[in-house]
Every structure is written in C-alpha cells, then in structure tokens.
Amino acid sequence: MHTVVERELELKLVLSPERSIPVPARLTYRTDDPYAVHITFHIGSDHPVEWTFARELLVEGVFRPCGHGDVRVWPTKVGGRSVVLMALSSPDGDALLEAPAAQVSAWLERTLRVVPPGSEAEQLGIDAGLAELLAPSPRLSATLEQGAAAAADDLWLRDPWPSDETADGE
C-alpha cells in the first residue's frame, strides 16, 4: 500500500517585481515515487500543468539556493513574509513562482515523516526485486536435477562462433 501526502495551496506567478497573479496548486508526494515531488498548477486550461522534480531539491531550497537548469529553488522574504521561490524553465517558457515558506515546509515535514531521507530505496523494493531476479529458477533447478546437466554442458562446450566451413568439407 502506498501513501500520498498532498497539500492544496495558492502560489503566485511573478510577472514583475510589482505584479503577480494567484495560481492554485497542489503539492503531491507518493511513497511509490519516493525521490520525487509533484506540483500541479491549475492555470484555467483544459489540462493542468505538472512539474516533477527531486524532493531533496525542494527540501534544500527551503533553506538555501539550489538547483540549476530547469528547476531552481531558493528562500527569500517578500514584504516581510518568508517565501520559497521556484524558477521553472521549459521549451514552452519560464515561470517564477512564489510559495508560502511555512506551508511548503509543513508539507515537506509530513513527507519526511512518511519516508525519512535515506530510506527512499526501501520504498521501491529494489533489494527484494534483485533477490527475486537473482534467485535460481525452480524450473531450471528441476531440469538440472533430472539429469540434464550433461546436455547443459554440451551446450556450454559448443563453439559459439562456428567456422564458415561446412561439416562435410565443401
């Protein structure tokens, strides 16, 4: 069973230092995708815009500037309020979004309680999957036990790159 931690909040799309517009958004964290956070922006179109990036990036961005390329996050104060700024860049354009730091931090704390940092791989079941993948096949084991070991040896000893010569010397 997977856990989902969500938070609806209102971000501001910064158009200029003096002007911004509200953008309803949803922060989502899923334990079946433990390294990522998802932000869905409801911009009044038929389809919301979704961004996915590393949870670690957002956690760090609450405290200090981080990221490069498509996603950059940093804390600042606007009008005496603590906010987290997210600069998102894509081929379709760039956006600077302002999020209330207290709401983002509270939501991140909930995600960190559900999956503490460093334990993300446990959520994916990688160790169990590898063990299953590397476990001997019961069917192969049964076949070998029934005396097929010699046939397997014959296959192993065959030349994998037979020469161009035919068996009858033609």
Cβ atoms of residues 41 and 48 within 8 Å = yes
Instruction: Kindly state the average pLDDT of the residues 130-159.
Output: 61
pLDDT: which is higher, 27 or 44: 27
Q: What are phi and psi of 85, to 5 degrees?
A: -100, 140
* Confidence (pTM): 0.71
How many degrees, rounded to 5, is the angle at CA 137 between CA 133 and CA 142?
175
Asked which of 72-81, 108-117, 153-162 is least confident by mean pLDDT, the reply is 153-162
Q: How confident is the model at residue 119 (pLDDT cuts 50, 70, 90)?
A: confident
The larger pLDDT score, comparing residue 60 to residue 69, is at 60
- Please check the confidence at residue 128 and state whether its pLDDT lies above 80: no
Q: How confident is the model at residue 154 (pLDDT cuts 50, 70, 90)?
A: low
pLDDT at 2 over 60: yes
Predicted local distance difference test score (pLDDT) of residue 8: 96
Task: Indicate if the pLDDT at residue 113 is higher than 70.
Answer: yes
Distance CA(124)–CA(52), nearest Å, equals: 18
Residue 59 scores a pLDDT above 80? yes
pLDDT at 147: 57
Mean pLDDT on 47-64: 94
Strands laid side by side in the 93-100 sheet? 49-54, 36-41, 19-30, 4-16, 93-100, 81-90, 71-78, 66-68
Answer yes or no: is pLDDT of 140 > 70.
no
> Which residues lie across from 121 on neighbouring strands?
none
Say how far apart CA 116 and CA 46 lie, in whole Å. Answer: 36
pLDDT at site 67: 95
> Would you call 119 helix, strand, or coil by DSSP?
coil
